[in-house]
Amino acid sequence: MLSLFLSLLAAQGQDPAPPLAVYAEPSPRGAVRFARPLIVWPIRFAGSVGTPKVEVKLNGRPAEAAYDPVLGAVVYRPQGPLPAGKNTVECIVKVPEQVPFVREWTFDVQPGAVEGPPPPTQSQVEALELVNALRGHHRLEPALPSPELVLAAQAHADYLAANKDVTHDQTAGKPRFLAATVPERLRTFAYPWPAEELVGFATTDVRDSVVAIFGSPYHRIYFMTPGEPDLGVGVNGNYVCLLFGPETEKVAVPSPPDGVGDVPLDWPGGMGFPKRPNQPYGYPILLRHGRDERDVRDLTVSIKAGGKTIAAIVRDGRTDTHMKGGVVAVPEKPLPPRIEVEVRITLTTRSGQTLEFPWSFNTGS
């Protein structure tokens, strides 16, 4: 994740003092393999400053960049491919009654860098459609393909297929090696934000690979990313790599969704929950609440069916890094068939605010 740090920039002799500016490292940095990278400088203001004025030069020439208040960043996409070698960005952000915020940085476009991903294959289209169908089931907007994430996801799917492996890491010297870790691959293709990588494989087809990925609660939580997040889909054979960008909206998302029916009764476990094929768990129940786990003081989960309490294993972002901004409750036994299940999750913030998240769904047979 981009490392945030604070800067109090005081305008000499001016009163009142300037607002707090929170900014992060610009992007891209280092060597990149994408010739039309998104050029970004994240910078936010705590005070009311109106619309910041932006001046950007790319390799000495003015660029039509703008400040995006939703992203909290200066953003610019070059119209055409940048030249190989060193490229220089000069960025000035001006707000009323403040000294300008200035940043200059360089990055290197590698020889042979691509201008963008090729047209999607039929398998990529099928995987993308299924991802967004699952999001639609949760009443979420479609995720939007990002060229940077598509390139990174496809490169990793190619690595997985070449090595017949399902992993987030790559090993130097192996076929189709690009970069060892997810953050390194994101930087290689100049993606400026954090992203979560999900990988999977099924012996049958691509759709089953996506369904298998979704089946884990540690993966489903990212399918539930609210807003219209960036998405990268990579497919090679039945190996699938998905990359989800950050949320673009703050809204709580429950799963199974409120009011749906025919919810599965059980789940065999896996990925953090010991597999129990002969004594399965109940179907996992999730809430993506979007709160920073450092702001959560207490959290309780109530699950009832037919007036009876259902015992569950509960994990959230305070103790489980896979559940940042969310909570999962895995019933210890299969859910009862053909019944309404009522869920209530209560979250208390460190400031004492209490947030209630009630919803219900119906199980299948």
The mean pLDDT of the chain is: 93
pLDDT tens column, 39-90: 999 998 877 777 899 999 999 999 999 999 888 999 999 999 999 999 999 9
Distance (Å) of CA 361 to CA 265, 280, 300, 321, 341: 12, 20, 19, 27, 5
pLDDT of residue 280: 97
pLDDT score of 221:
97
pLDDT at 9 over 60: no
Q: What is the pLDDT of residue 13?
A: 38
Q: Where are the alpha helices (DSSP H) in the chain?
A: 122-137, 147-163, 182-188, 206-215, 217-223
Q: Show the 3-state SS of 196-253.
A: EEEEEECCCCHHHHHHHHHHCHHHHHHHCCCCCCEEEEEEECCEEEEEECCCCCCCCE
Please report, rounded to a whole number, the percentage of residues in the chain having pLDDT higher than 90. Answer: 87
> How far is Cα 285 from Cα 240, in angstroms, rounded to an integer?
24
Q: 20-34, 38-52, 289-303, 311-325: which range is least confident on average?
A: 38-52
**How many angstroms separate the Cα of 293 from the Cα of each of 288, 289, 321, 326?**
12, 10, 10, 8
User: Which tokens go with 23?
Assistant: 């900014």
Confidence of residue 20 (pLDDT cuts 50, 70, 90): low
Over residues 228-243, mean pLDDT: 97
> Mean pLDDT, to the nearest integer, of 353-362?
97
Determine the pLDDT at residue 101: 92
pTM: 0.91
What pLDDT is recorded for position 95? 87
Residues 272-283 as b/e (b if ≥16 CB within 10 A, e otherwise) read ebeeeeeebbbb
